[in-house]
Amino acid sequence: FGVMFYVFGAHKIADEVARYHYYLQLKTDIIDGRIPCSTEQAIRLAAYSLQAEFGDYEPDKYAAEDYLLFP
């Protein structure tokens, strides 16, 4: 079971749980390639996803030394 119709704005989905499931379905569809997007769009969407999940970046809370960065 999944989304059969896409809306032109998730804000039109009144129920918070339904909106969250809609978000998860869109995220899965993009990752699996069912919804094509450019590299730039994918990076922007990933940033939005991280901000939604973890909140705004707080430099005092997160240090670059805490993460392994790949070249």
The pTM is what? 0.65
Q: What is the residue type of 34?
A: R
Distance CA 49, CA 47 (A): 5
**Mean pLDDT value of segment 40-48:** 92
Residues 6+ apart with CB under 8 A from 10: 19, 22, 23
Angle ∠(43,49,54) on CA atoms, nearest 5: 125
pLDDT tens-place string over residues 8-28: 777 777 888 888 888 888 899
**Mean pLDDT value of segment 34-56:** 91
